[in-house]
Structure 1
Amino acid sequence: MNWNDITHTMQPVITYAVEALIGALALYVLQAVGRVLPKVKAAYEARTTASQREALHKIALEAFAFAETTWKDTGGPSKLSAAMGYVSKRLREVGIAITPEEIEAAVHHAWLTFNPDKKDPK
């Protein structure tokens, strides 16, 4: 028996072993991805939420300034309504969906930021 006969005889065994090894490696990689993917998704969602919150607060500050300058001769409820309308419109434009309560809280936060000595924004 010469070397060519041995390699010809062993070729199917070697091919089968390599395919089994590749299959096992692929299974390991898929399991690793399956374990890491939920963590990556949670981190992405947390970051998205954080960036949305940051955008909300920046827009609320803009809305507060808008309401204070545009509605300076009217009372608090009118200003609050105008500011909330501004925030709602801007958030829709950038594709962020937030509840009216969260918008109102952000506007109140903006009000308190500019009026730290006052307690009730209404």
Structure 2
Amino acid sequence: MHNDWGAFMTALANHLLELIFAVLVAYAVSLRNRFTAWLNARTTAAQRETLHKLATEAAALAESMMGGGAGALKLDKAIKYVSDRAATLGIKVSEQSIRAAIEKAVLDYKAQIKGGTAVAKTEQ
């Protein structure tokens, strides 16, 4: 009988250890998923910040190179500049997002020139 009790306790201890291990693995997976989501969100925010900086550079470059007028041509040059620089930095972004960032940079610039306040920085 004593031998049966020892076998029962050994089996119970093994099952408890398996259960604890399973809970720890599930917790580790949960932490990994949360960390991955956090990292992806930070990367996206950093990429958006870089996109806005590139758009401001592109708008200033197009304006200084081409002066007044030729808006469509300036926009095309600015889009190409941002697209090329973003690709060099390993940032994948759509042309629509690039155009939106450039348009915002131009609006901010015009607001500053006219003595108004710049458009508030977009939410990230």
Number of equivalent positions: 110
State the match for 1:78 in structure 2.
Answer: 73
Taking the aligned partners of 1:14 and 1:58, their CA distance within structure 2 comes to: 66
State the match for 1:4 in structure 2.
Answer: none
* Aligned-CA RMSD value: 2.6
State the match for 2:82 in structure 1.
Answer: 87
Taking the aligned partners of 1:19 and 1:67, their CA distance within structure 2 comes to: 71
State the match for 2:121 in structure 1.
Answer: none
Q: Give the number of the structure whose alpha-carbon radius of gyration is greater.
A: 1
Q: Which moved more, 1:13-22 or 1:60-69?
A: 13-22
Taking the aligned partners of 1:33 and 1:80, their CA distance within structure 2 comes to: 48
What is the identity, as a one-letter code, of the residue corresponding to 1:72?
G
Classify the secondary structure of the residue corresponding to 1:95. coil
Gaps of 5+ in 1: 1-9
State the match for 2:58 in structure 1.
Answer: 63
What is the identity, as a one-letter code, of the residue corresponding to 1:64?
A
State the match for 1:26 in structure 2.
Answer: 21
Residue 16 of structure 1: CA displacement? Answer: 7.0
Which stretches of structure 1, 4 residues or longer, exceed 4 Å deviation after superposition?
A: 12-22
Taking the aligned partners of 1:71 and 1:26, their CA distance within structure 2 comes to: 66
Classify the secondary structure of the residue corresponding to 1:96. coil
Q: TM-score, normalised by structure 1?
A: 0.74
Once the two structures are aligned, what percentage of the paired residues are identical? 32
State the match for 1:107 in structure 2.
Answer: 102
Residue 33 of structure 1: CA displacement? Answer: 1.4
Residue 109 of structure 1: CA displacement? Answer: 0.7
